[in-house]
């Protein structure tokens, strides 16, 4: 498995690609005097360097004497400041190490090595609006988090991962009204089911009215549901109600794993079968994604030519679709390379004036921004994907307007009606394509086949 990219590497790739586009554009754009923009920039840079060197030489000669007279005092002060700073850093590190050790001991139960598949994470947001109770983690697929993993806090079981992005994951809490898990009462060995109450706890179901149950009895996971491992603390029974006509008890429970500011560190543990499926998916080579991106750009170029033949007044930006498709996964470098390829292809098809690098600049910048959004949010629903494409087209128009203004020295305002129609068409087309990709075609075909056989 390849080492994860550092956060600075996508920014360096972005700067390199944008700089290359600017250089490519500067050697093509000519000013009124006949010279290219690159020649003007070189002359300006050389004059600045000459003036800077002259000024630096005169300044160095005038300040040399003062520097030598203050050098000893400055060196002594700097040594003392460095020593104080080093001691403060060491003290802060010691305090943080102690606090982190205490948190990890509470989290892992003083076990030197946690169970296999355990990943530390932190809760970013807890959403408790209505009956749906979810939380957002700061870890995702890049950290080994896969859907289906059990989420455990310091005080007990929190829930399970239901969706995972590149740098984030969404957790369904046990208090969610649609959540349920098999549980066990250790004191009596009675098995039951815990279902979320949509508020702050869970209700125990299918416990007979004659069962031996008491308030404050401990509740743990049984492992029979195939979702959560056995023996994780779920909570304790808050009350025991024995209705006269029902065969089962009413047992509201207290959720011990309720996330809050003191319970922000988690332990995520996936089931072995799900970890195996995740390893199979991660073993697929990255060449498939590159082939898909190149094929998407080629199809965008082909359909752009067809739309040109049809002479549509405001055609959608088809080259933005493969860029958005790669960017929504949160991988910045593949997204920027796709944007570069799509932008160069769009520049090559632009008439009558072809400026190689103009659309490439905007597509690379948009790819980086959309990848940043995809790394922090799950862009899976067709409507959200369409809105992302719509906003990207509008921003693309602004970037191109500003870039042409800088290169040619004169503003060229875009046609607002044309931009609005192109953005709307691109957004609708992106939403339809995303809906087609997400539709379970195989399952629907199998269902039709079963209905015909029946």
Residues 403 and 358: beta-carbon distance below 8 Å: yes
- Among residues 32, 77, 103, which one has the least CA distance to residue 267? 103
What pLDDT does 388 receive? 86
What pLDDT does 142 receive? 84
Query: 19 burial class (0-12, 13-18, 19+ CB within 10 angstroms)?
Result: exposed
Q: Domain-by-domain residue ranges, the chain?
A: 119-270, 284-446
Statement: residue 11 has pLDDT above 80: yes
* pLDDT 10s digits, 165-183: 888 888 888 888 888 888 8
What pLDDT does 255 receive? 58
Q: What is the mean pLDDT of residues 331-350?
A: 87
* pLDDT 10s digits, 368-410: 988 888 877 777 788 888 888 898 888 888 888 888 887 777 7
Could you tell me the pLDDT band of residue 288, with boundaries at 50, 70 and 90? low
Alpha-carbon distance of 106 to 357, in angstroms, equals: 55
Residues 165 and 186: beta-carbon distance below 8 Å: no
* pLDDT 10s digits, 92-120: 888 888 887 777 766 665 444 566 677 78
* pLDDT 10s digits, 135-165: 888 888 888 888 888 888 877 888 888 888 8
- Among residues 171, 170, 167, 172, which one has the least CA distance to residue 141? 167
* pLDDT 10s digits, 246-263: 777 777 766 555 555 334
Alpha-carbon distance of 63 to 198, in angstroms, equals: 72
In percent, the amount of the chain with pLDDT more than 90 equals: 1
What pLDDT does 263 receive? 40
Query: 384 burial class (0-12, 13-18, 19+ CB within 10 angstroms)?
Result: middle
Q: Could you tell me the CA-to-CA distances from 141 to 1, 56, 103, 249, 254 in Å, in that order? A: 13, 52, 24, 41, 31
* pLDDT 10s digits, 36-80: 676 776 777 777 777 777 778 778 777 777 777 788 788 888 888
The residue among 215 and 2 whose pLDDT is bigger is 215
CATH class of 119-270: mainly beta
| C-beta neighbour count of 236 within 10 angstroms | 16
- Among residues 379, 377, 342, 332, which one has the least CA distance to residue 362? 342
What pLDDT does 149 receive? 85
What pLDDT does 269 receive? 42
């Amino acid at each position: 498995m390849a080492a994860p990219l550092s956060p600075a590497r996508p920014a360096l790739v972005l700067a390199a690609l944008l700089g290359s586009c600017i250089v490519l554009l500067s050697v093509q754009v000519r000013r009124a005097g006949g010279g290219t923009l690159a020649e003007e920039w070189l002359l300006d840079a050389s004059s600045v360097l000459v003036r800077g060197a002259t000024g630096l030489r005169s300044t160095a000669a005038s300040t040399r004497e003062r520097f030598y007279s203050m050098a000893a005092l400055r060196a002594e002060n700097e040594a003392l400041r460095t020593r104080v700073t080093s001691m403060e850093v060491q003290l802060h590190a010691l305090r943080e190490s102690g606090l982190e050790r205490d948190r990890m001991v509470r989290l892992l139960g003083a076990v030197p090595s946690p169970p296999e598949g355990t990943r530390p994470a932190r809760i970013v947001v807890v959403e408790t609006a209505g009956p749906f109770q979810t939380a957002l983690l700061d870890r995702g697929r890049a950290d080994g988090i896969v859907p289906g993993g059990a989420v455990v806090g310091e005080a007990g079981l929190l829930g399970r991962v239901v969706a995972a992005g590149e740098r984030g994951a969404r957790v369904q809490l046990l208090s969610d009204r649609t959540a349920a898990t098999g549980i066990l009462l250790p004191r009596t060995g009675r098995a039951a089911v815990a279902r979320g109450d949509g508020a702050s706890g869970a209700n125990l179901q299918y416990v007979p009215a004659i069962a031996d149950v008491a308030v404050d009895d401990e509740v743990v996971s049984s492992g029979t549901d195939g979702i959560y491992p056995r023996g994780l603390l779920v909570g304790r029974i808050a009350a025991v109600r024995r209705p006269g006509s029902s065969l089962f008890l009413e047992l509201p429970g207290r959720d011990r794993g309720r996330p809050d500011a003191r319970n922000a560190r988690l332990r995520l543990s996936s089931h072995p079968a799900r970890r195996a499926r995740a390893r199979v998916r991660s073993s697929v080579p990255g060449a498939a994604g590159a082939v898909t991106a190149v094929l998407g750009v080629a199809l965008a170029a082909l359909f752009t030519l067809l739309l040109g033949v049809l002479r549509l007044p405001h055609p959608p930006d088809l080259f933005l679709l493969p860029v958005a498709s790669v960017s929504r996964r949160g991988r910045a470098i593949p997204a920027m390379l796709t944007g570069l390829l799509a932008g160069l292809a769009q520049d090559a098809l632009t008439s009558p004036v072809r400026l190689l690098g103009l659309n490439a600049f905007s597509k690379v910048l948009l790819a980086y921004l959309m990848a940043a959004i995809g790394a922090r949010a799950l862009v899976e629903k067709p409507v959200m994907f369409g809105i992302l494409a719509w906003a990207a087209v509008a921003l693309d128009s602004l970037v191109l307007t500003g870039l042409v203004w800088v290169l040619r020295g004169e503003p060229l305002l875009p046609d607002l009606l044309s931009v609005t129609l192109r953005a709307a068409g691109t957004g609708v087309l992106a939403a339809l394509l995303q809906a087609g990709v997400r539709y379970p075609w195989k399952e629907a075909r199998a269902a039709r086949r079963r209905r015909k056989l029946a």
